[in-house]
Amino acid sequence: MAVEADYYELLEVERTADDKIIKSAFRKLAMRYHPDKNPGDQESEAKFKQINEAYACLSDPQKRAAYDRYGHAAFQQGGPGGPGGGAGFGGGDFGDIGDIFETIFGGAFGGGGGRQQSRRGADLRYDMEITLEEAFHGKTAEINVEVSQACEPCGGSGATPGTSVRRCNLCGGHGKVRAQQGFFMVERACPNCHGRGEVIEKPCRNCRGEGRVDTPQTLSVDVPAGVDTGTRIRLAGKGEAGPGGAPAGDLYIFLHIARHKVFERDGTTLLTRAPISFTTAALGGEIEIPGLDGSRHTIEIPAGIQSGKQLRKRGAGMPVLQGRGSGDLVVEIQVETPTRLSARQRELLREFQSTETGEECPQSKGFFERIKDAWTDLTE
């Protein structure tokens, strides 16, 4: 004899769970195992029936009390909940949870008698690469795409011009058919008309009854200044046409910024690295950095600057997308050691070296003093 599953275990709740917890657990499991979300899965269908049965019992105070006392025997022949006992499942009220199925499965429990609404066309994606200069200034670009549009000869109906469509005999024009599923009456798209509610007697030759044809298009895209990689531009109604003359979806342009020869980008900040001679680092000076706006930005180099030091030029970075102002330009200094010296340069450097006292480079002095102290500690 088969062992019947415990209702509390089916709903994954404790036996002390209140009505709110039981209802919440049922909603979660019903959405997971509903046949419309698991087409062709017999195990999910069986599970769905079990949790329906469990909820029908535990959501009713009288049935739950009988189940807690007698278990499944309460609803078998001769039991207190069997025929004549007033605790059968036939009268279960699921009206309070029908809204979740209406939301998820397209109004299957809403009781509406009208024809199924046409589905909106699919959204499409287009990836566009632009330069950092184009992202700085903004641009208007043209793109070539091929998307499905409403068929002109039939106006998107899918029927040969001059002919008409007839109401589907199987679903009566509703676009859905009903079937008993456990304790629920479940609605699905009609297999005869595929949810349209209408049947095309003579399909249009141009679109073969689809109501849509793939058509190449040239579209204009306005790219605003300040965009970055990942910025998305929406072209409303430029996506795939909906079936049966339904509204078209949208086309989304995803932007990608090409790598730049000079600058890296972090939000609205532009970052670049500038090598300078060790004499400029020691004495100070200035360098010029060309900006993306075509101007030249003068960067003052303070005397004694070290490699890795960052200098900031306010307002010389990327413009703020759909806002005011601009970010900053950050220049990271890299002090370059000369590799080719003339005889005169070597002579001058040796002369400079002879005058060094160690105070010129405080970081080096401090480092070697720490090395000396560490060596003393090891040898003592």
| Alpha carbon distance 121, 137 (integer Å) | 34
- The two beta strands, 251-257 and 176-181, are unpaired
**Backbone phi, psi, residue 375, to 5°:** -65, -40
| Alpha carbon distance 147, 240 (integer Å) | 6
168 annotated as a binding-site residue = yes
Provide the residue type at 13 as one letter.
V
193 annotated as a binding-site residue = yes
361 annotated as a binding-site residue = no
Tokens of 308: 């890795």
For residue 256, what are the contacts with CB-CB under 8 A and spacing of at least 6? 127, 128, 129, 130, 229
For residue 131, what are the contacts with CB-CB under 8 A and spacing of at least 6? 257, 258, 260
Q: Is 183 exposed, middle or buried (0-12, 13-18, 19+ CB in 10 A)?
A: middle
Query: Is 377 strand, coil or helix?
Result: helix
Strands (E), the chain: 124-130, 139-150, 165-167, 176-181, 184-189, 198-200, 212-223, 232-235, 251-257, 264-266, 269-277, 285-290, 296-301, 310-313, 329-336
Tokens of 376: 């003393």
Q: Which residue has the tokens 């049922």?
A: 26
Cα-Cα-Cα-Cα dihedral sign, residues 20, 21, 27, 30: negative
57 annotated as a binding-site residue = no
Tokens of 135: 């992202």
Known binding-site positions for Zn(2+): 151, 154, 168, 171, 190, 193, 204, 207
**Residue ranges for the binding site?**
151, 154, 168, 171, 190, 193, 204, 207
